[in-house]
A = this chain, B = another copy of it.
Amino acid sequence: MNISNATILQKFDLFQEQWKPQIIGELNGQQVKLAKLKGAFVWHSHEHEDEYFQVFKGTLYMEFRDRTEVLEAGDMIIVPKGVEHNPYTKADEEVWVLLFEPATTLHTGKVEHERTHNDQQWI
C-alpha cells in the first residue's frame, strides 16, 4: 500500500454529486470518504458497522429516534452499529463531511433507496 496524503478541502473540489461518498484513503479495512450532503436523506442503520462523521462545512443535523444532534464544522460524531439515524441539512445549504467506516459499508445501511450507491468511487 502506498502512502496517501491530501489537503482535504481541495479534495472536496473534485466532485459535485451529493449523497455519493468519494473515497480518499483506506486503512485497516476502513475507508476515509468525503461526501456533500444537501436536504433530506433516509432513515437507516448499519447492522455491523460503526460510522464516524466529521463536518468540514455547514451544519449537519443527525436525527436519532430520541433526539437530534447539531454538528458544525470541526465537530464529529460516531454512530454505533444498529442505531437508526437520519442525517439532513438545511434546505438551501450544502454540507461537507468526512466519513470513516469499514470498506464494506453501504451508506444507506439495509435500506435500498434511490440514494443508494454501491460503487466504490475514488478521488
Contacts and interface: CB of A to CB of B under 8 A. Distances in A.
Given A27-B50, A30-B28, A102-B28, A75 B3 contact: no
Nearest to A102: B28
Nearest to A79: B3
In the complex, the count of this chain's copies comes to: 2
A100 B27 contact: yes
Contacts of A16: none
Interface in A33-90: 49-52, 54, 62, 64, 69, 71-72, 74-81, 83
Contacts of A62: 5
Contacts of A26: 50, 78
Given A7-B74, A28-B30, 17 more contacts: A1-B50, A2-B80, A3-B69, A3-B79, A3-B83, A5-B62, A5-B71, A5-B76, A5-B77, A6-B75, A6-B76, A8-B74, A27-B51, A27-B78, A27-B80, A27-B100, A32-B100
